[in-house]
């Protein structure tokens, strides 16, 4: 039982911004939101994380709503190499340090 | 390159056999996590070790066991293998013991095929 909900798949045109949503309505006050991605059969790669404030790094931006019940990962200029499965993760509040990767969003960047 | 290494890259074996997967975390990272990813399945957390001690358990079968050594490398032992154990096995490492607040760095994985 993943604690996050993400769309199964999304398409994005190359060069455009990719906006990947995630719902995490049961998130607790001290739980971070993490985003990872997995390019086919490779190890997952860390992208970004945040607690309350919006965050930006060289890969992406993370927008967290004020109530923290949802977030959006933004890839500002998607390239073909961004085609991957994107996982949004928060801690499972009922289990100490267990983490559940849901099915994620399969992002296809189209030329 | 995440700095986490896993060996072997590929492993093919028969049902009923036992195999050992090895993971070397990033230099100095005391936490090691093991995950299983079956075909068309998401990543399933198996187990976590921190400085040699088991810290958290996920959906790990009794036929599977793991350990972390003083040099912080870890091994995942899979025994009495079944066809359904065929999967990608990933190792990850982090600086702290907390999955919820710490970034994990994943290795390239070991692809296990049970025939």
pLDDT in tens, B20-51: 999 999 999 999 999 999 876 778 889 999 99
Has residue B59 got a pLDDT over 90?
Answer: no
CB contact under 8 A, A41 and B55: no
Question: Distance (Å, rounded) from C-alpha B18 to C-alpha B20?
Answer: 7
For residues A72 and A22, is the Cβ–Cβ distance under 8 A? yes
pLDDT of A96: 46
**Which residues, in sequence order, are bridge partners of residue A94?**
none
Closest listed residue to residue A32, CA positions, set B30, B50, B48, B102: B102
For residue B55, give Cα distances in angstroms to B36, B42, B62. 18, 22, 17
Question: Distance (Å, rounded) from C-alpha A26 to C-alpha A24?
Answer: 6
Nearest CB to B45: which of A34, A36, A98? A98
CB contact under 8 A, A43 and B92: yes
Average pLDDT over residues A34-62: 92
Query: Which residues lie below 8 Å from residue A34, measured CB to CB, with a gap of 6+?
Result: A46, A48, A49, A88, A89, A90, B103
**Chain B residue at shortest CA distance from A96:** B56
**Chain A residue at shortest CA distance from B94:** A46
Closest listed residue to residue A89, CA positions, set B47, B100, B92: B100
**pLDDT class for B6, splitting at 50, 70, 90?**
very high
């Amino acid at each position: 039982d993943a604690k996050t909900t993400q769309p199964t798949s999304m398409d994005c045109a190359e060069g455009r911004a990719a906006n990947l949503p995630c719902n995490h309505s049961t998130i607790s006050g001290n739980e971070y939101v993490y985003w990872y991605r997995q390019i086919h059969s490779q190890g997952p790669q860390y992208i970004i994380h945040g607690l309350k404030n919006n965050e930006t790094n060289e890969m992406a931006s993370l927008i967290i709503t004020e109530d923290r019940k949802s977030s959006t990962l933004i890839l500002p200029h998607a390239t073909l190499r961004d085609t991957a499965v994107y996982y949004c993760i928060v801690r499972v509040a009922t289990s100490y340090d267990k983490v559940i990767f849901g099915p994620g969003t399969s992002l296809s960047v189209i030329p | 390159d995440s700095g986490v290494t896993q060996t072997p890259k590929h492993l093919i074996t028969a049902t009923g056999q036992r195999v050992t997967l090895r993971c070397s975390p990033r230099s100095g990272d005391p936490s090691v996590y093991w995950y299983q990813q079956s075909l068309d399945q998401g990543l399933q957390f198996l187990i976590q070790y921190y400085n040699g001690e088991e810290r958290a358990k996920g959906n790990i079968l009794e036929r599977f066991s793991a350990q972390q050594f003083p040099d912080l490398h870890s091994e995942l032992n899979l025994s009495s293998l079944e066809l359904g154990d065929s999967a990608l096995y990933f190792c990850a490492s982090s600086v702290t013991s907390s999955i919820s607040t710490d970034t994990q760095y994943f290795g390239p994985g070991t692809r296990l095929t049970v025939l």
